[in-house]
Chains A and B, each alone.
Chain A
Amino acid sequence: MTNHWVDIKNANLIVVMGGNAAEAHPVGFRWAIDAKINNKAKILVVDPRFTRSAAVADEHVRLRPGTDITFLNGVLNYLISNDKYQQEYVREYTNASFLVRDDFDFNDGLFSGWDESKKQYDKSSWNYQFDEDGYARRDPTLMHPRCVWNLLKKHVSRYTPEMVEQICGTPQADFLKACEMFAETAAPDKTMTSLYALGWTEHTVGAQNIRTMAIIQLILGNIGMPGGGINALRGHSNVQGLTDIGVMATALPGYLGLPNERHVDLQTYLNMSTPKMTGRGQVNYWGNYPKFFISLLKSFYGDKATPENEFGYHWLPKFQQMVDAMRFIEMTENGEINGFLVQGYNVVACMPNKHKSIRALSKLKFLVVIDPVASETANFWQNHDEFNDVKPEEIQTEVFNLPSSLFAEEDGSITNSGRWVQWHWEGAPPPGEGKTDSAIIAEIMMKIRELYEKEGGRLPEQILNMAWDYSKKKHPSSEEIIKEVNGKALADLYDGNGTLILKKGQQVSSFAQLRADGSTACGCWIYAGCWTEAGNQMARRDTADPSGLGNMPGWAWAWPVNRRILYNRASMDRNGKPWDPKRQLLHWDGAKWTGYDVPDFTAAPPGSEVNPFIMQQEGVGRLFALDKMAEGPFSEHYEPMESPIGTNPLHPNVVTSPTVRLFQRDAAELGNTEKFPYVGTTYRLTEHFHTLTKASELNAMTQPEAFAEISETLAAKLAIKSGDMIKVTSARGFVKVKAVVTKRVKQLMVNGQPTEVVGLPIHWGFKGATRKGFLTNVLTPSIGDSNTQTPEFKAFLVNVERVS
């Protein structure tokens, strides 16, 4: 979240799209209700289904799964053509005025630079025009035909209300009602918050879904504002922390990149990773990249990391290809992987195309599952009739199931969606042989190190040189780990005036203290400040709210540097006048910016040319994404890989995303409308958390058995009654579930054809306290988003029939 949970109460409009906040985030949703009651806010839900969020919304607008970009580009078109945007914000704080290279173009579904033979883009034209000093050219009048604003205007002009209706199936009247609600927040003193989750990310165009809303929020002037922002509601209680700490295939902690094969040495890596300033006099905070990275290497390797050995840079793996979870399963199925260590992850239930996952796991020599409950993954080899139709005698994988603790059985920090890092304390020790995850991992690590010491092996330095300065080597405490993450001075540190700021061994209080010379260590630069010399900041519990805006700066600690609202300098105009006096966060006190939040800015005085988005090279929010996205610098509608209309009304020659992640074997398992005429979509219910809580009796009581939701029209057509058992089939397999016939799912008219949506919650399986059921991911296709490789769980094709 750019903002945070409590801040939702400041919104005038809450758009729930690409998520179902009331259903999946019922506790945080209290702030949406608070906005409704105390701020007269309206709630708009845009969703294929009438959800629990819709039940308390002012408006619900339907669309077909997988068409969010069309809808949102349609909103952009409406806002721009009706002059419903915040003009000063757009001119000053976005790249609207920046001139784009003359060779950038978009034609018939493809951006410039497409290489059909390689099936990839040369992104060099996706850039600004630069002057002789290397700064981007601008036209503040927004008149220049090559300025971003005019290119954007042209790009979205194709998304008329008629086109939205044709692609999304949203009646024009409903769409225009939604547009009017968006448009009201173009006023400087009105804000809209966007609450989204996996309903946007789990698409082949997931990242672009979110980007389209980001463009809307920028032109409405809602970024940096209390009650505004782009707010990802994270699904697991600490998945934000997991993302921050970089547990991704190509990430290092704090959104630093894992080196790849082109980064032959430290200097090359740093040169390629550190962005250059492209706007005169701007901050370009990522210019500090080397400080964060070298402090990370010092945290990894301690005294072993020296300037002479490039701080141990060469011990880091250099990737040749992205080995994300989807590729990992693919490689496992290809027999390229022998062992799999699964921690807190129910692979068989959570990866798409369950049969593929089973085939892959069956090829492993060993599988280690670290989990607090008996999961389908640890038991993938068991036969459970139709629910898991495998032959145990043919599976040779050796499975180790290591019981771990649940969150309430350990001390530690949990980072919530709003970046608040909150400390929590053990309520009870784990039962039986259960151990904390860190104890399990540490014990494995110590054993591996022992084997390397005794027997040697390939690349022993990675293991042998790793700093492991915990008091109990096999059981590092959460305190020790988070203090290491925070970082410390490895020598006395002096500022530019020669004043001592930190003594050797002291905890750093901000990433501003980090150095690129090896005199500081920091495990995740954005967490610097969470455990300082003043102690554990995450354990703070002061609910004082001096601004009344819900920032509560004394409650726990938020990254970065306890800042509650990102880009908060953009809540004021260039001269420091707040867009809305009722939402003033900061003011200039004559020497610096100060107020109710930690300024996301430098000490540049009011009226300076320094732009508010200091993490960007040019200091402004990007309507045009340069080369940062795989599909293009603007967002474009591409059909889901399994499309119910089989064409793209915008450009029939390019129907689906040209850059989508799809392996050959998986392409052969895609279906079409002849056999699978209905649109399937998967989702979560409030009664359960993924596949974990089916192990809990109380959750099982409230939603005991798998079901699918279908419309009254589809039910009538197939002679299905509520409560009947139905079989839902895709090109990958079938599930049998109970039918819930509901008015909340409706037939849509898409491209002139009636289109039915089949809703499939995901919570049941062959283990647990619920009724035994099929894993819903039997049905879903193994396709990934081009940027994030997140699987497509939200739009695919199925057939439905009644079974007796």
Chain B
Amino acid sequence: MTVYVFDGTMDGLLTAVFDTFDRHEQPESLLTTGDALPLFCDNVHEVATDETKARRVWAGLEKRLSREAVRLIAVGWLSEMNDLNSPLYRYICKVFRQEASAPSIERNYADPDVLEVTNIARKVLHEQLRMKQFIRFQKAKDGTYLAVVSPDHNVLPLITGHFADRFNDQPWLIYDAHRHYGYYYEGKGRPVHITFQDEEAVPFSLADGKLREEVLSSDDRLLQDLWRTYFKAICIRERINPRKQLNDMPRRYWKYMTEKMC
């Protein structure tokens, strides 16, 4: 049996597709470097990631699929889930194998690979919506608004546009504590990708997202209290329904949310 091993990058996966057609073979499975090889594999091909080949495959995809379908693939990739690799690889291969006259495969949800890729992309889109819902900013003394998050999927690139559009006159920083990078917007222009060399020295806690007392702006504490007061007051006690609350606002998001902190 034939097995391909790639380096886990998008370019690597696209190169694997290129090699499949170049070598006229169809591997039984696609593994990431470091995965245990299955028994009885007699043909292992190490995919050498090549940017030019990857570009050619991507351009081919853009020609054969609708813009929406290409976007879903890109969005799905941000899930950072290993389960996506094989279905996505087989999906892309099928796109290139398809005859031009057949109805496009991208909406054939009876195909398990297409359905899986679509479902994973949906999950990512769901989480980016949750970030737009649940991000909470604190205001620092210098006027910068800070929010710390740690989403399951790598969704920051999908939401910076929304926040730059909405808060176009206020400098903000959204930091992904789990992936150790963030986006900074200085109040004009575009949000920029940033990382901290010394993460220990940042003036906020990565564990609960709180700004340190000495850099917090003077009225922020009062506003947080106001918000917590409002959050408690708006609840109708006769209708308490923790099941629905947890369903719509899972507990894993609570640790950075003002109304759920004390």
A and B together in one complex: no
